[in-house]
Structure 1
Amino acid sequence: MAGEAELTPTSYIQHHLHNLTFQVQEGGFWAIHVDTIVTSVLMGLLVVFGFWLATRKATAGVPGKWQAFVEILLEFVDKQARDTYHGTSKLVTPIAITLFFWILMMNLLKMIPADFIALPLELIGVPYWKPVPTADVNATLGMSISVFFLMFFFALRSKGLGGFAKEFLTAPFGKWMLPFNLILNIVEWLSKPISLAMRLFGNMFGGEIVFLLIWVLGGAGIVGALAGGAFGLGWMLFHLLVIPLQAFIFMMLSIVYLSLSEDSH
Structure 2
Amino acid sequence: MAAAELTPTSYIQHHLHNLTGQVGEGGAFWTIHVDTLVTSLLMGLLMVGMFWVATRRPTAGVPGKWQAFVEILLEFVDRQAKDTYRGPSKLVTPIAITLFFWILLMNMIKFIPADFISIPLSWVGVDYWKPVPTADVNATLGLSISVFFLMLFFAIKSQGFGGFSKGFLTAPFGKWMMPFNLILNIVEWVSKPISLAMRLFGNMFGGEIVFLLIWVLGGASILGLLGGAVFGLGWMIFHILVVPLQAFIFMMLSIVYLSLVEDAH
TM-score bracket for the superposition, by shorter chain length: over 0.9
The whole-number CA distance in structure 1 between the counterparts of 2:225 and 2:29 is 41
Cα pair distance change 1:217/1:98, threshold 3 Å: same
Counterpart Cα distance in 1 of 2:215 and 2:223: 12
Amino acid at match of 2:15: H
CA distance in 2, matches of 1:138, 1:83: 31
Query: How far apart, in 2, do the equivalents of 1:233 and 1:218 lie?
Result: 13
Residue identity in the other structure for 2:84: T
CA distance in 1, matches of 2:228, 2:9: 16
Following TM superposition, by how much is the alpha carbon of 1:30 offset from its aligned partner in structure 2, in angstroms? 2.1
| CA offset digits 1:154-213 (Å, max 9, x no partner) | 000000000000000000000000000000000000000000000000000000000000
TM-score (norm 2): 0.98
Q: Which residue type is aligned with residue 17 of structure 1? A: L
Residue equivalent to 1:164: 164
Aligned equivalent of 2:104: 104
The CA RMSD over aligned residues, in Å, is 1.0
Distance between the aligned counterparts of 1:138 and 1:169, measured in 2?
A: 31
Runs ≥4 residues deviating over 3 A: none
Aligned to 1:138: 138
Cα separation, 2, equivalents of 1:220 and 1:11: 15
Unpaired segments of 5 or more residues in structure 1? none
Counterpart of 2:16? 17
- The TM-score with structure 1 as length reference comes to 0.98
1:12-70 deviation line (CA, Å, top 9, x unaligned): 00000000001224252620000000000000111111111110111111101110110
Paired residue secondary structure (1:129)? coil
Structure 2, unaligned stretches of length 5 or more? none
**Distance across 2 between alignment mates of 1:239 and 1:226:** 20
SS at match of 2:192: helix
Aligned partners of 1:254, 1:208: CA distance in 2, in Å? 24
Q: What is the aligned partner in structure 2 of residue 244 from structure 1?
A: 244
SS of corresponding position for 2:21: strand
The residue type paired with residue 11 of structure 2 is: Y
Aligned length: 264
Match of 1:124 in 2: 124
Say yes or no: does 1:218 pair with 2:218. Answer: yes
